[in-house]
Structure 1
Amino acid sequence: MTTPDDDPADDLQQGLFSHLIELRSRLLKAVAAVVAILLVLIPFANRLYTELAAPLVARLPEGAHLIATEVASPFVTPLKLAFYAALFIGMPMILYQLWAFVSPGLYKHEKRLARPLLVAAMGLFYLGCAFAYFLVLPAAFRFLTAVTPQGVEMMTDISHYLDFVMLMFFAFGLCFEVPVAVVILAAVGVVDVKQLRSGRRYAVVGAFAIAAFITPPDITSMIMLAIPMCLLYELGVLAVGWLVKPPAPSPGA
């Protein structure tokens, strides 16, 4: 028996309000974690930039160096890098807070699939950034310094360099998410294992096309991205067979 106070609209409003309060709390915790990491990193901002610039500085001609073309660049650019590094380091905390907010509304089988995908996505993104820093950027800068026309002195602006490297990190991090994307497509029923295996040739062509678009204009960098993407595609096919169960046939089939 219901009473006049049992208004479904009020219950819905209260439920929505409580979810918004929880979301606000989770976001504040994530922001607090990033701010705390940023405060720790600020004293080391110049050192961080020195490490970030090492792949280019080591390959510049003798006497060449990075420059600052704007008055505030020597101060602002390292601070921007410290903020990016704080986001990078604090990403596990951010993802945990988002997961803690979303997971209560998921079914058991959805949680079983989402947990490894979330961990894999984070790990693969970090791996892509490390791959770009330690392997691709040195090869790209070696090529770019080698093809600099005679009489032109290569002196890169520090803010432009930071933007370029962050773009490369983001691009390589996303490209390394190929296995996660493959598993998600299979989980929602867009493709199955058979289609993924038969589409290998298209995946290879797509990998080289994306690599040619993203990487600097040297074939070494393109190959260094395309080949890992092809291998990660194969890893995604294996993960689909392990994580995504084929739908059960209907009784009338």
Structure 2
Amino acid sequence: MSFFNSLGRSMTRGQRPKRSPTPTSATFPPTDTVSQNGAPPSPTVTAPKPLYLCSPFVEAALVKGNFKTIVMLPKYVDIMEWVAVNIFDFYTHLNEFYGVITECCTQQNCPTMSAGLTLNYTWINQDRKSVHLPAPTYIDYVMTWVQNLLDDENSFPTKSGQEFSPSFPSTVKHVYRQLLRVFAHIYHAHYTHLLHLRSEPHFNSLFAHFLAFGREYELLEVKDVKGSASAPVGVGLLWEKWKDMGLLEG
């Protein structure tokens, strides 16, 4: 099902639940964007295999089988409402996970928004300059921006009869990309904390669901989940592993 080819579909919508608060109260200008900046790889840098790629952690999940079955559009449901509700759910659950490990994600522990050995996401500020931010600041900007969008009836309408904006597909794709970066940082920098909490089956299932949904509705860009040869995204290998295991579509 192509999300971007289904703008004309609509249906009566019910009220969605109130959004959960972000971890902190920092504000984020909706016009800001982010860019990816990877440092050149060092030939002397070696690292052990990430735990999230190792057995039994890579197999840990609450859902068995292919995730495509749970992302398919239900009969008689408007596709944009389906996408909006799922994006809200992904944001809410990811926000809750981050809230649990936020004490570990500090400016001292995470001075950059890293998602791989040679990958740090950078922020484009109001002067259109690319700047490095500590991961907690970067994530707070993203989560606050998404929260504000979800609360905006013009962006995510909840009233019956109110139509989605023509810009909704591009907006939600941008939201998806930013949430993917938060997932990528947590896997890279904080997966051990999830293991200590025995939360890896829940987090793996959430991320696999997130990837399957993005693939199904054309929100996921392969370059965003895999990165480049010089700056690969750590979870790119996890994506490939889950495809090989039959959890995700190719």
Question: Aligning the two structures, in what range does the TM-score lie when normalised by the shorter sequence?
Answer: under 0.3
- RCO greater where, 1 or 2, for CA within 8 Å and sep 6 or more? 2
TM-score (norm: length of structure 2)? 0.26
Larger Rg: 1
Higher helix residue share: 1
- Of Structure 1 and Structure 2, the greater strand share is in 2
